[in-house]
Amino acid sequence: MVLPPELIAHAARLGAVRLRDLMAADRDRADALLISHAGIEFDCSKQRLDGASITALVAHLEDAGFGARREALLTGAIVNESEHRPALHMAYRHGATLEGADVTHLVDRTQAETRAFAQQVRTGQFKPAGKAVARIINIGIGGSDLGPRLVADALADHAEAGPDLRFVASLDPSELARTVAGADPETLLFVIASKSFSTQETLMTAQAARDWMAGQVGLEQAGRHFAAASAARDKAITFGINPDHIFDFPDWVGGRYSVWSAVGLSLEIGLGPDVFAALRDGAQSMDKHFATAPLARNLPVMKALVDFWNRAVLGYPSRCVAAYSARLGLLPGYLQQLEMESLGKSVTADGLPSGMPGGALVWGGCGTEVQHSFFQWLHQGSDATPVDFIGIGRHFASSDPRERVLAANMAAQGAALLDGVQLPPGNDPAGAAQKSMPGGRVSSILLLDDLTPATLGALLALHEHKVFVESVLYGINPFDQWGVELGKVLTKGILDGELSGYDASTRAMLARTGFVPE
Ligand SMILES: O=P(O)(O)OC[C@H]1O[C@](O)(CO)[C@@H](O)[C@@H]1O
């Protein structure tokens, strides 16, 4: 892929204009660059973009074959070429077909099974050891952890009364110890979430959990405290999970898109099936919008075009996500996997160099806390970086002053990045220079009417689709992740003690630390 000369020309033209002047030149800009759907407003009026450049971006997307590619995605064609699979996670929001065949029966079956099991656990009908379950511990990593963990945290205030919900992803033994601390072992349920059921970290932690349970309730009883969500039912059975408590899903649900599938089991139990259903409904609404809205008014498409513009045309290497809601504090971490595992590539499906940079590095944190850490760098550092502000619209008019101040801070940060300040030298030129801020730094706002299961679902689906649109612009497959495989192979080599092919630095470190192969 190459950038069309029109985009480069627009970048040069807009680069020569002060951002403030660009805004002042069009009185309708704030409205024109605002797109809303499913309780989410996307405001990109503080971006270095105008109508002509957006038209050129849309044309470039169309030229890149977006129409056919989106059709292929939504109808279940093979869009994950290197793994020969469709990517039909949207089916779990009830909106797609697989290669012309309706897959809703498959989705409905699993959803009926997980819902029934969740109800049994929640009502105390399911008693692994004669006692109702009081705590669920989700053991998983990557997409089998980040999505469920984010949703659990984000919707904690919406949870219907039920078991406590915890997560373990780390191999560090202290993590598992922390999640079981204080619990009555007889009231625990471990949910092993692993699409492949072969991820080393997850299996080792699951084994450690089972050993711990065996020590608490006896070997025979321990197995009753385990359920699984996996695309590899046979492997879960081999591990020893009761087949009745294994909830499967097809391999066309990618790991980082799996929260909607049986991987959401711990959420369905912990938050309640209706909350989980509302999350899916919100995502479904965004799916429909993505499939039908005109490109220049299509929220995921426009978000993708803005992020592509900043990354590939203007050349910003990263994007900061600042969530002005404590409940969305895990969003940057979730987006890191979704975006960087999907877009961190530079080879096309045909195996050729894409000629494009691939997706941006995503990083961030929670406002206002981050204003007291890295925002200094955003305001006065030498690397201007686009920021996504994620906020809650209700906060602006809240009766709680803390929410109003939170919202005002978010608005102020975007304005400060845009405006900057130039202090007159006066009789302290050095001080004035140090206190001045360049401004002209771009940002977007994603404003949720309120944080509800539906708006959260829509926010996650928005980002999933945005990543897909970017993948079309970068000419890459967003659904595989071969880059993480080599590390897994080399870990095995180290554990097996087969070190002859390793570099001298790695071998020296292993020797120094007295590492003992298995
Ligand atoms: O659900 P699994 O198969 O255990 O995989 C966990 C994670 O590992 C990855 O494959 C990366 O190693 C992710 O894509 C995935 O979400």
Between the alpha carbon of residue 5 and those of residues 13, 47, 60, 154, 370, the distances in Å are: 12, 20, 11, 43, 38
Ligand 1 atom 2: the closest Cα is on which residue?
A: 194
Query: Candidates 80, 89, 139, 141: which one to mutate for ligand 1, based on the most atoms within 8 Å of Cβ?
Result: 141
Q: State which ligand 1 atom lies nearest to the alpha carbon of 481.
A: 14
Question: Which residues, other chains included, contact 265 with Cβ-Cβ below 8 Å and sequence gap of 6+?
Answer: 114, 117, 118, 191, 193, 227, 229, 247
- Sign of the dihedral defined by the CA atoms of residues 518, 141, 226, 163, in that order: positive
Q: State which ligand 1 atom lies nearest to the alpha carbon of 144.
A: 1
43's enclosing H/E stretch is strand 40-43
Q: How far is the CA of 423 from the centre of ligand 1 (A)?
A: 51
User: pLDDT value at position 481?
Assistant: 95
Catalytic status, residue 369: no
36's enclosing H/E stretch is strand 34-37
User: pLDDT value at position 98?
Assistant: 57
> Does ligand 1 come within 6 angstroms of the Cβ of 45?
no
Catalytic residue (one of 131, 435, 488, 492): 488
Query: Candidates 139, 146, 149, 195: which one to mutate for ligand 1, based on the most atoms within 8 Å of Cβ?
Result: 195
Query: Candidates 336, 484, 489: which one to mutate for ligand 1, based on the most atoms within 8 Å of Cβ?
Result: 484
Ligand 1 atom 9: the closest Cα is on which residue?
A: 142
> Does ligand 1 come within 6 angstroms of the Cβ of 342?
no
DSSP annotation of 451 reads: -
Q: How far is the CA of 481 from the centre of ligand 1 (A)?
A: 9
Q: How far is the CA of 236 from the centre of ligand 1 (A)?
A: 15
Q: How far is the CA of 127 from the centre of ligand 1 (A)?
A: 30
What is the distance between the alpha carbons of residues 230 and 144, in angstroms, rounded to a whole number? 9
Catalytic residue (one of 341, 395, 465, 470): 341
Q: Identity (one letter) of the amino acid at 29?
A: R
Between the alpha carbon of residue 201 and those of residues 52, 169, 173, the distances in Å are: 49, 8, 11
Ligand 1 atom 8: the closest Cα is on which residue?
A: 142
Domains of the chain (ranges; CATH) run 5-63+293-474 (3.40.50.10490), 89-277 (3.40.50.10490), 485-512 (no CATH)
> Does ligand 1 come within 6 angstroms of the Cβ of 254?
no
User: pLDDT value at position 99?
Assistant: 56
**pLDDT tens digit at each of 518 positions of the chain:** 789 999 999 999 999 999 999 988 888 888 889 999 999 999 999 999 999 999 999 999 999 999 999 999 998 899 999 999 999 999 998 755 555 566 777 888 889 999 999 999 999 999 999 999 999 999 999 999 999 999 999 999 999 899 999 999 999 999 999 999 999 999 999 999 999 999 999 999 999 999 999 999 999 899 999 999 999 999 999 999 999 999 999 999 999 999 999 999 999 999 999 999 999 999 999 999 999 999 999 999 999 999 999 999 999 999 999 999 999 999 999 999 999 999 999 999 889 999 999 999 999 999 999 999 999 999 999 999 999 999 999 999 999 999 999 999 999 999 999 999 999 999 999 999 999 999 999 999 999 999 999 999 999 999 999 999 999 999 999 999 999 999 999 999 999 999 999 999 999 999 999 998 88
Q: State which ligand 1 atom lies nearest to the alpha carbon of 485.
A: 12
Q: How far is the CA of 361 from the centre of ligand 1 (A)?
A: 19
Nearest to 282 by CA among 39, 89, 36: 39
What's the burial of 338, exposed, middle or buried (CB within 10 Å: 0-12/13-18/19+)? buried
What is the distance between the alpha carbons of residues 120 and 444, in angstroms, rounded to a whole number? 44
Angle between helices 273-292 and 66-74 (to 10 degrees): 150
pLDDT in tens, 211-233: 999 999 999 899 999 999 999 99
Catalytic status, residue 372: yes
- Residue 353 in contact with residue 347, Cβ under 8 Å? yes
Three-class DSSP category at 85:
strand
Ligand 1 atom 16: the closest Cα is on which residue?
A: 143
> Does ligand 1 come within 6 angstroms of the Cβ of 205?
no
User: pLDDT value at position 270?
Assistant: 97
> Does ligand 1 come within 6 angstroms of the Cβ of 195?
yes
- Residue 127 in contact with residue 222, Cβ under 8 Å? no
Q: State which ligand 1 atom lies nearest to the alpha carbon of 196.
A: 3
Q: How far is the CA of 200 from the centre of ligand 1 (A)?
A: 10
Count CB-CB contacts under 10 A for residue 78: 15
User: pLDDT value at position 101?
Assistant: 60
Q: How far is the CA of 142 from the centre of ligand 1 (A)?
A: 5
pLDDT in tens, 417-464: 999 999 999 999 999 999 999 999 999 999 999 999 999 999 999 999
User: pLDDT value at position 2?
Assistant: 87
> Does ligand 1 come within 6 angstroms of the Cβ of 93?
no
What is the distance between the alpha carbons of residues 367 and 82, in angstroms, rounded to a whole number? 39
What is the distance between the alpha carbons of residues 341 and 257, in angstroms, rounded to a whole number? 11
